[in-house]
Structure 1
């Protein structure tokens, strides 16, 4: 978020928690992109604040978390003292979560794979109406093909992303892959290393698809420790994931900080991933 919007988001998170009886003397910005994560001190609650356009996503995330906690999934829990609902204030949607003190060490690939396998097992135990991952690919493709949505995207890069999202790679083994509920974006930024063990966050991206779609968001070594993974499919999914990431960064209204570098990184990663799986 831009500084002025961030200030409003911080105040919305602070005021919402205070009205619910939580003591908030200070607010620490943990993460800032199109939505923000705030540590509220000293109550030690994490507030996730998004523009009100994301109200449905925030409500969906809460429902996913509620169901997964019930089947012992390795996920962050909602704040126990304030109820499990989305709060609205000043054009923002606010949800309140348990804050976990981070452990500074990196999560080993084997532990990452174990957490993801347990998460997938838990997801197979719940019934949830979630979109298919191809719906997200179609949404990214619409951004790429609509010049009004992505006016600054150069023609050559527009062709690269369009071919990657809309070509044969977009159909990556859908007929033969075993679809199930997925996290949707279990990249390292969405896996916390805590004293309770690795915990997944940002559950609004839950969707249906092959487990390889999730594995493609993790570091490459993780798939080597995940039993039964199709490594060729992981590589093809990785190309799609970076193409979607790139599409979002070229949106006219994207608010990701350091967007120019993110745009360059995304395109470079798409090319590298395509070369890796022989589609360059």
Structure 2
């Protein structure tokens, strides 16, 4: 139901070794690496160097077999990071000690980022205002981005993988998930479908992955990070399941943005719930704490879809 701890430790060691090998090619010595996170990606501080390497490790089979899409997403992430920094929006940046490109090593894709010292502050003072500021900055970002990353064919593959785990999501729930996917994909399946359904909701660059939870709190203030899901989408994509819509509407109007469309927000929330459930399709590769964290949410999702 989840990767066993021995195999997980070996995978983490493999990722850290690959990251160190890449860094050492550029003269960066990492004698005392520290793993910061290890869920969907291994995130390792290549101490004593001020470099953090992020290596996606929990991926569907198509991404493991062909890294083309992952490489393109990492290039887009780097480009958005550069653009936000040029706009003076606090953003984690690529490490100046290595080239600002995605690297391939031993079957893994990775990117190198600057290491930032963080402070023990866990919440933003004004999360809705922060997201409104981020969206204002992102509207000025001129980077070629895909439409709704991790909705496209990723969802179809994940639903197929989910079918192999009836112990996690039973046949009845899987049938509901496929119906939900078809309903949502009728709108989110392409920019053209989206525009036909919501002509007033302009697409723009969005963070793509819960921006209020992907913030590093530093002595200089919050710094947005993990832009690996940056894409073109409606602002509602970033606001789904946050409970921030009402406060965001007030904040974004003051900044020249549009208030949220509640019908579109509801559709984005349905899509996000489905993404959460579909992550169980990766159960064979995922750590136990990730699987155990998602499993109770299946019942919540079931209640949401009725």
Partner of 2:117 in structure 1?
101
Counterpart secondary structure, 2:34 = strand
- The CA distance in 1 between the partners of 2:284 and 2:31, in whole Å, is 33
Moved over 4 A (4+): none
Match of 2:177 among 161, 165, 168: 161
Q: Which stretch shows the higher mean deviation, 239-248 or 136-145? A: 136-145
For residues 5 and 169 of structure 1, what CA distance do their matches in structure 2 show? Answer: 34
Contact 2:118 2:219 in 1 (8 A): yes
| Cross-structure match for 2:246 | 224
User: Mind listing any 5+ residue stretches in structure 1 that lack a counterpart?
Assistant: none
- Identify the residue that residue 198 of structure 2 maps to in structure 1: 174
**Alignment pair present for 1:63 and 2:79:** yes
Provide the residue aligned with 2:90 in structure 1.
74
1:202 aligned residue: 226
TM-score, structure 2 normalization: 0.77
Q: Relative to structure 2, which stretch is displaced further, 253-262 or 66-75?
A: 253-262
CA distance in 1, matches of 2:40, 2:8: 9
Q: Indicate how the Cα distance of structure 1 residues 74 and 239 shifts in structure 2: closer, same or farther if over 3 A, else same.
A: farther
Measure, in 2, the Cα distance between the counterparts of 1:72 and 1:23: 31
Q: Give the one of 134, 141, 145 matched to 1:130.
A: 145
Following the alignment from structure 2 to structure 1, what is the Cα–Cα distance between the partners of residues 158 and 173? 9
Contact kept in structure 2, 1:161 and 1:243, CA below 8 Å: yes
Distance apart, 1:211 and its partner CA: 0.5
TM-score normalized by the length of structure 1: 0.84
Cα distance, 1:36 vs. partner?
1.1
Q: Using the alignment, how far apart are the partners of 2:113 and 2:25 within structure 1?
A: 16
Secondary structure at the counterpart of residue 31 of structure 2: strand
Asked which structure has the greater RCO (Cα within 8 Å, sep 6+), the reply is 2
Alpha-carbon distance, 1:271 to partner: 3.4
**Superposition map of 1:6-45 within 5 A:** 6-45=12-51
What's the CA shift string for 1:48-79, capped at 9, x where partnerless?
A: 12357233332222222122222223321111
Aligned pairs, how many? 270
Distance 1:103 1:248, change over 3 A: same
Matched, 1:121 2:136: yes
The structural deviation recorded for 1:155 is 1.0
In 2, Cα distance between equivalents of 1:144 and 1:24: 36
Taking structure 1 as reference, are residues 247 and 94 closer, same or farther at Cα in structure 2, changes over 3 Å only?
same
Contact 1:109 1:225 survives alignment (8 Å): no
8 Å CA contact 1:29–1:38 kept in 2: the answer is yes
Where 1:7 maps in the other structure, the secondary structure is helix
1:143 aligns with 2:157: yes
From 225, 233, 243, the equivalent of 2:274 is 243
Unaligned runs of 5+ in 2: 1-6, 58-63, 189-196, 250-258
Q: Give me the whole-angstrom Cα distance separating, in 1, the residues matched to 2:71 and 2:162.
A: 22
